[in-house]
C-alpha cells in the first residue's frame, strides 16, 4: 500500500471512529417501501423521529425505530459522560440501499413461467450532535 493510500485509509478510519451510526442489513422488505418510511425522519431530531416512527402504521417503521435506538446506543458508547438531552442529537444521514434479491419462479398460463423477485434492503443511519457542530463552527 502506498503512502497516500495508507494516509487516506487512516483518515477514513478515524472519521468512522468519531461517527455514531448503525446499519440494518438484509431487511426482507423492498427498498421502495422502506424509503417511504426513511424519508419521514431524515434531518429530524432523534426524539421527534422516534415519535413519528412510533405512530407510523407501516411495518418498516418499527425496524427503523429500533435502528435509530441502536445508533443512539452507539453514540452513547462513543461519548461517555455526555447526556443525550444536552447533545441535541439529530438524524444526519439515513439511506436505503438495495440488498440481496431472491429470484423465484411462478407458473403462468400456457406453459410459461414468470419470475418473482423478493427484494431486500440495507438501511444506514448516521447521527450527529448539534452541540458539537455549533462549537466547531464558533471556533473556526
Residue 2 belongs to a domain: no
pLDDT 10s digits, 128-138? 988 755 555 55
Average pLDDT of the chain to the nearest whole number: 91
- In a domain, residue 12? The reply is no
**Predicted local distance difference test score (pLDDT) of residue 140:** 45
Radius of gyration of the chain (CA): 20
CATH classification at residue 43: 3.90.470.10
Determine the pLDDT at residue 29: 95
Cell 403462468 locates to 108
Type and span of the H or E element at 39: helix 31-41
Would you say residue 110 lies in a domain? yes
pLDDT in tens, 75-128: 999 888 888 888 899 999 999 999 999 999 999 999 999 999 999 999 999 999
* 3 located within any domain: no
Count other Cβ atoms within 10 Å, centred on residue 14. Answer: 9
Domain coverage including residue 123: 20-139
pTM greater than the 0.85 cutoff: no
Give the CA count within 13 Å in the CB-facing half-sphere of 114: 7
Amino acid at each position: 500500500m502506498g503512502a497516500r493510500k495508507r494516509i487516506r485509509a487512516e483518515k477514513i478510519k478515524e472519521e468512522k471512529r468519531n461517527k455514531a451510526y448503525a446499519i440494518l442489513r438484509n431487511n426482507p422488505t423492498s427498498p421502495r417501501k422502506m424509503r417511504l418510511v426513511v424519508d419521514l425522519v431524515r434531518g429530524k431530531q432523534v426524539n421527534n423521529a422516534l415519535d413519528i416512527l412510533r405512530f407510523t402504521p407501516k411495518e418498516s417503521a418499527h425496524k427503523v425505530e429500533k435502528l435509530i435506538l441502536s445508533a443512539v446506543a452507539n453514540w452513547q458508547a462513543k461519548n461517555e459522560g455526555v447526556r443525550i438531552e444536552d447533545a441535541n442529537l439529530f438524524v444526519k444521514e439515513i439511506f436505503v440501499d438495495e440488498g440481496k434479491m431472491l429470484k423465484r419462479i411462478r407458473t403462468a398460463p400456457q406453459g410459461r413461467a414468470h419470475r418473482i423477485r423478493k427484494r431486500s434492503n440495507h438501511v444506514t443511519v448516521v447521527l450527529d450532535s448539534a452541540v458539537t457542530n455549533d462549537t466547531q463552527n464558533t471556533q473556526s
